[in-house]
Structure 1
Amino acid sequence: MAAAPVAESAEPSAPVRTKRDWRSWLLRLVLAAASGFVFYLSFAPRDLWWLAPAAFAGLGFVLRGRRLWGGLGYGFVFGLGLYLPLLYWIQDFLGRGFGSAPWLALSGALAAYLGVAGALCTLVARLPGAPVWMAMVIIASETPRTWWPLGGFPWGRVAFSQPDGAFVPLASVGGAPLVGFAVVVTGFGLSALLVHARRRDWRAVRLPVIATVLPVVAGLALWPTIGTGAQNGTRTVAVVQGNAPDVGLDLMTEEPTLRANHLAQSELLAGKIRAGAVPAPDLVVWPETATDLAGFDPVIDQAVRDLGSPTLIGARYRAPGLKMQNTEFVWDPATGRGQSYSKQELVPFAEFVPARSIARWFTPFVDDTGDMLPGTKPSVLDVAGTRVAVPICYEIAYDHVSRDAVQDGAQLIVLPTNNAWFGRSEMTYQQLAMARLRAVEHGRAVVVSSTSGVSALVEPDGTVTRSTSQFTAESLVGSVPLRTETTLSDRLGAWTEYGLVGVAVAAVLAGLVLRARTRGTSTTATRAE
């Protein structure tokens, strides 16, 4: 008789509990997606850098108390909230011919890394000092996705949202990995702080306060140490932006137009130099793939002679018997074509096709597309009496390309790029943000030369002094400082990244051990009962 009332009272309570679980699950799902979108809003062309830690605070709330599979799902949704809008420019490139499949597939693949990171965060969240270990896991996940699969894709790293604000000076100490870690630990620290403050658990707020405040204070304290003055004189640099048609993937057939446009803009610049309207440059820069080259080119040779200055010419170059390369040539007005650097980090599915059988799912033109040949030498050239780093376009997203060049003596960074493929999208501004971060990371001025904009002159502290608009024919002429001092980030090299990854792996292993012990204790207690 006593069992009946228990059954009756338990029966109505079950639906209520299920309903609450459904509501909390939906709330967490919405918060995860919204936090990812807030993170996207922190990227250029907006200067809302402070939204990045706020986004990770939101993710911290979502992951709190979750298990492994929950962390995987919520991390993946957070990633979709970021990458779907961040990479929408792929639609400007491929969407007209291929639809949304490439954009959705790439966004989903990158979001999967944040899904795995979210799952691993649920393990390290059990450890003392959870915000620190969770932040290390998030940043450690950026390393494998830079290289794998199919060549990797480093776009959208946390640090690339921070060319402005309190965290960017940390780039001079530990590069992009340290900046990203500082952003994420601030966000996770903030979420833990708010949770403990709501519970009035004042003893537990000490570490969250440190995690929230210390990265900001450290970044602000480092601002006065960012050197911008010339250490080996200055160079007057001219950027030739010839412009290009806004036709997306059809730009493949517009090479003669790009070449003609840049020759015409060079002619206008040469006229201004002769008239004294602009200072005579020490170095002129053409953007990436502004022309095709196979051998001696008398038209380019004459254009450089008219300019009267050594010129970096970006070209699609095919040496006899070899595949096409994406190459920057030093072209001297007296001696002609000289040194060259060929792009090492080629763009997957654009400059090479790493998995043709998979690519055929998205495009019928794979078999008509040849792979470019990657370069093997460091991205550094001697031009105008100056050692110059020349990462090409996409390579600015890779830490090692500019770092190796600076360690090899580069005093200036030049970034030739062809952003005309991506229309009037945010892509060119996202890339400029990376260049600004690299300026601080290496303590070097950066000259961005784009076919259709945005071209820019960037000071060693990341400040943009001059820039162009998109899809305009224009030239920039200005003075930039040459610097020889290497930053701590350059001296440490990749060890900052390796250290963060190593500690993240150790924290995950410790979390697994703690979970196993907790389960073992629970099982023993259950048996004893």
Structure 2
Amino acid sequence: ILALLAAYLSFYISLFCVLTVKWSRGKPVYFFLLAPLVWTSLEYLRSTHMTFGFSWMGLGYSQFQTLTVIQPAEITGIYGISALIVLVNAALHFFINTWVFNLNKHDAWKPSFRVIGVTTLVVGFWVGWGNWALNLTRSQIESSPKIRVAVAQGNIEQHLKWNKLYQQPTMKIYKELTLQAVEGKPELVVWPEAATPFYYGLDPSGTKYVQDLAKTSGVPLLFGSPYKKTMGEKELAYNRAFLISNQGETIDVYDKMHLVPFGEFVPFRQALFFIEKMVEIIGDFGLGKRATVFTLNDYQLGVSICYEIIFPDLVRQPVKNGAEYLVNITNDAWFGKSAASYQHISMAALRAVENRTPIVRAANTGISGFIDATGQIRNTTQLFKRELIVDEIAPNKGPRTFYSKFGDIFSYLCLALTAIISLLAYRF
């Protein structure tokens, strides 16, 4: 599976090389103009398909710590930042290529300096815009009402997570963390993805345990739990998020909408008979149908589960429909001590900027933390450590961003221009 994934992702880079070389026809200035458009189009296409879309670590995410550069994502989305990076590198390529291979031509410097000049103007405008947006957003955060949220990172080992003998110790851990959180007077306590080692709502004793905890603590709980439904003769499991009140009543639920291929479902299982055994091992999860907007007290919030946070268009849906802050619950224990956990939270930072909404992140083994509307990551936990963190966030009561309302317009423009160029290249 990993080999197939690597081949699939490398296909887009190979296609970028083939198309830009073919369409630029050996003219560096054409490459300078084409490269950002083609790269952005392919990166967008790679990221969007509901079955095989994989938006992990697009080029723009490399700038997640450079807050000035990422602010225009509220208009262009992450793909605008990728386009900017390619534009700068294409300009450098043009400059070096022109001076090295055309050194004997007395006028070789003219086009290269024009390209550098245009790129400097674009970058200057981008950074100026980003600096203005960063300062404006910070001032809005400072003047906005705040709410306190607690995140419980249980750090449950993966091999123990579904062991029935470890159910009670697991719930005891979350109980202790939740009661500890009460001291910080939060308005909400968040547990990670699949925090309950039972089917909440279907397991009577486990469900009552969580409901009693909500009543005892006096704080609403948002947590992940497996769930299942019977559809005729078929039983489907769901990766679900529950929000329950401080009286233990279920306020609303959200079912994961973007499942992990070969992790939560097997694509094309009916057509590909030879993978039926894989279905038996993995199982088949049901697909969520709605981007739930939860209402808690005077605020509305949206939830994403696990790697859903890497899909910009999916995350913007609850914000478009009124969510004022976002919660991402995940279990990154699968990543071990690799860089993937750090990459995962870095991608979440861009969702905060695109939608100008703070994000609360609860991970089983880390990295949990808080992200404000500028994309600033703060108050994070360590990997593989049991921790409780409490912090303030400023829900966005203001207007929705261009990106929240309209989505990937910038990417559509890049796709349209790339399509036009391909037609012209084919015709002429």
**1:509 alignment partner in structure 2:** 423
* Secondary structure of 1:156's aligned partner: coil
Select between 132-141 and 226-235 the one with higher mean Cα deviation. 226-235
- Tell me if the contact between 1:442 and 1:487 (Cα under 8 Å) persists in the aligned partners: yes
User: What is the SS of the residue equivalent to 1:319?
Assistant: strand
CA contact (8 A) 1:240 1:262 kept: no
- Partner of residue 140 from structure 1, selected from 28, 34, 41: 41
Give distance in 2, aligned partners of 1:404 and 1:397.
Answer: 13
Give the alignment partner of residue 130 of structure 1, picking from 31, 46, 54. 31
Q: State whether residues 379 and 402 of structure 1, in contact with CA within 8 Å, keep that contact through their aligned partners in structure 2.
A: no
Q: CA distance change for structure 1 residues 255 and 417 in 2, over 3 Å: closer, same or farther?
A: farther
What is the aligned counterpart of 1:332 among 245, 258, 270? 245
CA contact (8 A) 2:48 2:311 kept: no
Q: Is residue 182 of structure 1 aligned with residue 78 of structure 2?
A: no
Percent of residue pairs bearing the same amino acid type: 25
What is the CA–CA distance in structure 2 between the aligned matches of 1:317 and 1:383, rounded to whole Å?
Answer: 22
Q: 1:147 to 1:435 in 2, by over 3 A?
A: closer
- After superposition, the Cα gap between the structure-2 partners of 1:258 and 1:415, relative to the gap in structure 1 and judged at 3 Å, is farther
Give, in angstroms, the shift of residue 358 of structure 1. Answer: 9.6
Summarize the alignment of residues 472-483 of structure 1 with structure 2, pairs less than 5 Å apart. 472-483=385-396
Contact 1:241 1:449 in 2 (8 A): yes
The answer (yes or no) to whether the contact 1:185–1:211 under 8 Å persists in 2 is: no
2:88 aligned partner, one-letter code: T
Match of 1:99 in 2: none
2:12: which partner in 1? 113
Question: Counterparts of 1:414 and 1:185 in 2: how far apart (Å)?
Answer: 34
Q: CA deviation at 1:361?
A: 7.8
Contact 1:243–1:261 (8 Å) recurs in 2: no
Partner Cα separation in structure 2 for residue 319 and residue 133 of structure 1: 50
- Displacement of 1:109 in angstroms is 1.3
Query: What corresponds to 1:153 in structure 2?
Result: 54
Cα distance in 1, alignment partners of residues 310 and 74 from structure 2 = 16
Q: Which has the higher contact order (CA 8 A, sep 6+)?
A: 2
Q: Quick check: 127-136 or 105-114, which moved more?
A: 127-136
Q: Which residue of 2 aligns with 1:219?
A: 126
Q: Is the 8 A contact 2:212 2:248 kept in 1?
A: no
Kindly provide the amino acid, as one letter, of the partner of residue 507 in structure 1: I
For 1:360 and 1:215, the matched residues in 2 are separated by 52
1:243 aligns with 2:152: no
* Distance (whole Å) between structure 2 residues aligned to residue 260 and residue 236 of structure 1: 27
Contact map agreement 1:417 1:451 (CA 8 A) in 2 = yes
> What letter is aligned with 2:10?
A
**1:312 partner amino acid:** L
Farther off after superposition, 145-154 or 219-228: 145-154
Name the structure 2 match of 1:487: 401
Aligned to 1:104: 3
Matched, 1:344 2:257: yes
Q: Deviations over 1:89-121 (max 9, x none)?
A: xxxxxxxxxxxxx22221121101111121111
Using the TM superposition, name which of 501-510 and 461-470 deviates more: 501-510
Secondary structure, aligned partner of 2:389 = strand
Greater displacement, 349-358 / 451-460: 349-358
SS in 1 for 2:212: helix
Q: For this pair of structures, how many residues does the alignment match?
A: 406
Following the alignment from structure 2 to structure 1, what is the Cα–Cα distance between the partners of residues 346 and 165?
30
For the residues of structure 2 that align with 1:325 and 1:438, how far apart are their CA atoms? Answer: 24
Does the Cα contact within 8 Å between 2:36 and 2:87 map onto a contact in 1?
A: yes
Query: 1:237: how far off?
Result: 0.4
Is contact 2:44–2:79 with CA below 8 Å preserved after alignment? no
Counterpart amino acid of residue 345 in structure 1: H
Deviation track 1:374-409 (CA, whole Å, cap 9, x = no partner) reads: 111114211243111211111111121221111111
CA–CA separation in structure 2 for the residues paired with 1:337 and 1:173: 36
- Give 1:288's aligned residue: 193
Per-residue displacement from partner, 1:440-480 (whole Å, max 9, x unpaired)?
A: 11111111110110001111111122000111111110101
From the superposition, tell whether residues 211 and 158 of structure 1 become closer, same or farther in structure 2 (CA, over 3 Å): farther
Structure 2 Cα separation of the partners of residues 414 and 338 of structure 1: 15
Mark the structure with the bigger radius of gyration: 1
How far off is 1:280 after superposition? Answer: 0.6
SS in structure 2 opposite 1:205?
helix
User: Mean Cα displacement is larger for which, 226-235 or 368-377?
Assistant: 226-235
In structure 2, C-alpha distance between the alignment counterparts of 1:142 and 1:483, rounded to whole Å: 29
- The offset of 1:215, in angstroms, is 4.3
State whether structure 2 residue 205 is matched by structure 1 residue 303: no
Q: What do the CA deviations read for 1:128-170 (whole angstroms, capped 9, x no partner)?
A: 5432322211111123322459432221322222212253122
Amino acid at match of 1:168: I
Alignment match, 2:116: 209
Q: Find the aligned partners of 2:314 and 2:263 in 1 and give their Cα distance.
A: 19
Asked if 1 retains the 8 angstrom alpha-carbon contact of 2:222 and 2:242, the reply is yes
- Structure 1 gap segments, 5+ residues each: 1-101, 515-529
Map 1:294-443 to 2 at 5 A.
294-295=201-202, 297-321=207-231, 322-356=235-269, 365-443=278-356
Normalising by structure 2, we get a TM-score of: 0.87
Q: In 1, Cα distance between the equivalents of 2:272 and 2:341?
A: 25
Q: Output the CA distance in 1 between the equivalents of 2:161 and 2:376.
A: 34
**Secondary structure of the equivalent of 1:183?**
helix
1:466 aligns with 2:351: no
**Letter of the aligned partner of 2:72 in structure 1?**
L
Query: For residues 446 and 320 of structure 1, what CA distance do their matches in structure 2 show?
Result: 34
Which SS does the other structure have where 2:379 is aligned? strand
Amino acid at match of 1:218: F
**Bigger mean CA offset, 383-392 vs 210-219:** 210-219
* Residues 207, 362 of structure 1: alpha-carbon distance in 2 compared, 3 angstrom cutoff: farther
For structure 2, the 5+ residue unaligned runs are none
Change beyond 3 A, Cα 1:134–1:468: same
Give the Å deviation of 1:433: 0.7
| Alignment CA distance shift 1:366-1:136 (3 Å) | same
Provide Cα deviations, 1:27-47, integer angstroms capped at 9, x if missing partner: xxxxxxxxxxxxxxxxxxxxx
Match of 1:195 in 2: 97
Q: Judge conservation of contact 1:392–1:417 (CA < 8 Å) in 2.
A: yes
